[in-house]
């Protein structure tokens, strides 16, 4: 780094676990760009000061992750209507006036969301188009929200949301109903029977819960001893480990299997392009993510937050 280095980063809390610095810095290095991507730890309640700080420090952009994706919105100068409808921002872009030009000294902050497009883009890059498909998604958290929004935007035929807490699935469906277009949205309780029934009728199964995440790598939403339908395509959003038990079950059944790194990299690549105007080398980004060390501190915190007890895992 030197005085000419352009800065971008990611703000969140906690942030030490993020794979984004490894992914983006590997791409900058491969393209021989004098850019650096830094993790920016921002406590809840500190978003206004953080945005002012990024602006003052001359950052070109910043990704925004949990828990700030909604809290950052009041601090933007510009929010495209499609992002405003979604209600969450994961990419900040600072546009500064050119030196000597009419707009010199100005700085406009725009909010974008690449999570929504990232899921669909990752599937399409694997040769799978979710348009017109019947989809069942397990989980109703933040990740599910982006995925469902993206599926509606490309015209999936139907999306059925199954969740351990069915009220949360229903609330998500109610919230997204106005943006669903032609896509039929349904909600239900996650049980072994409901999952098998819905998977039998669907073409694409998306796993968006934390089940199967390191260190509980032997857990799966799919009940043991029952083969997965071979006609299904299965996408697991978990990317630690890259190959989850669910994906192994899918491959053993002869089903198509897509891992969570695809979506992670696609949303990162879309942000990269918004800042630099260049589509990054996604194979380099994927290799950097796959090699990055696991942050044990984060994983312990996540375990505590979610109060995961796999001994009594609901589908076993």
Any idea which residues carry the catalytic annotation? 69
By CB under 6 A, residue 142 contacts ligand NAP: yes
How buried is residue 15: exposed, middle or buried, by Cβ count under 10 Å (0-12/13-18/19+)?
buried
Site for ligand NAP in 220-279 (CB under 6 A): 237-239, 260, 263-264
Question: Could you give the count of Cα atoms lying within 13 Å of 12 in the half-sphere of its Cβ?
Answer: 22
By CB under 6 A, residue 150 contacts ligand NAP: no
By CB under 6 A, residue 211 contacts ligand NAP: yes
Stretch that binds ligand NAP, among 35-43, 97-105, 209-217, 282-290 (CB under 6 A): 209-217
By CB under 6 A, residue 216 contacts ligand NAP: no
By CB under 6 A, residue 103 contacts ligand NAP: no
CA dihedral 166, 220, 306, 237 (to 10 degrees): -90
By CB under 6 A, residue 209 contacts ligand NAP: yes
CA distances from 169 to 152, 160, 265 (A): 16, 9, 27
Cα dihedral 129, 131, 135, 141 sign: positive
Output the smallest distance, CB 95 to ligand NAP, in A: 26
Output the smallest distance, CB 167 to ligand NAP, in A: 9
Token digits of residue 106? 């100005």
What kind and span of H or E run contains 158? strand 158-163
By CB under 6 A, residue 16 contacts ligand NAP: no
By CB under 6 A, residue 314 contacts ligand NAP: yes
By CB under 6 A, residue 143 contacts ligand NAP: yes
Token digits of residue 249? 């079950």
Q: How many residues of this chain interact with ligand NAP, rule: CB under 6 A?
A: 25
Q: Cβ(152)–Cβ(177) under 8 Å?
A: no
By CB under 6 A, residue 165 contacts ligand NAP: yes
Q: Cβ(268)–Cβ(62) under 8 Å?
A: no
Residues that bind ligand NAP (CB under 6 A): 139-144, 163-165, 168, 208-211, 213, 237-239, 260, 263-264, 306, 308, 313-314
């Amino acid at each position: 780094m030197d005085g000419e280095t352009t800065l971008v980063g990611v703000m969140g809390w906690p942030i030490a676990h993020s794979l984004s610095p490894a992914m983006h810095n590997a791409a900058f290095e491969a393209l021989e760009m004098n850019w650096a991507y830094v993790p920016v730890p921002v406590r809840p309640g500190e978003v206004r000061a953080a945005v002012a700080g990024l602006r003052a420090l001359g950052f070109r952009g910043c990704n925004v992750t949990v828990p700030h994706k909604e809290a950052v919105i009041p601090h933007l100068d510009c929010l495209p209507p499609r992002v405003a409808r979604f209600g969450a921002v994961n990419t900040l872009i600072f546009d500064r006036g050119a030196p000597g030009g009419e707009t010199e000294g100005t700085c406009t902050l725009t909010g974008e969301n690449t999570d929504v497009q990232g899921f669909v883009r990752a599937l399409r890059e694997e040769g799978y188009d979710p348009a017109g498909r019947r989809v069942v998604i397990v989980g109703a958290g933040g990740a599910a929200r982006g995925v469902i929004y993206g599926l509606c935007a490309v015209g999936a035929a139907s999306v059925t949301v199954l969740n351990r807490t069915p009220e949360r699935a229903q609330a998500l469906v109610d919230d997204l109903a106005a943006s669903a277009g032609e896509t039929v949205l349904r909600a239900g309780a996650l049980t072994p029977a409901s999952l098998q029934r819905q998977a039998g009728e669907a073409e694409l199964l998306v796993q968006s819960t934390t089940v199967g995440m390191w260190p509980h790598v032997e857990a799966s939403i799919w009940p043991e001893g029952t083969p997965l339908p071979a006609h299904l395509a299965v996408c697991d959003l978990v990317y630690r480990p890259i190959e989850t038990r669910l994906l192994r079950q899918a491959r053993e059944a002869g089903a198509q299997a897509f891992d969570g790194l695809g979506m992670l990299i696609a949303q990162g690549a879309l942000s990269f392009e918004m800042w630099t105007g260049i589509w990054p080398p996604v194979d380099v980004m994927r290799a950097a993510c796959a090699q990055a060390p696991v942050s044990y501190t984060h994983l312990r915190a996540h375990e505590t937050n979610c109060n995961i007890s796999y001994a009594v895992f609901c589908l076993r």
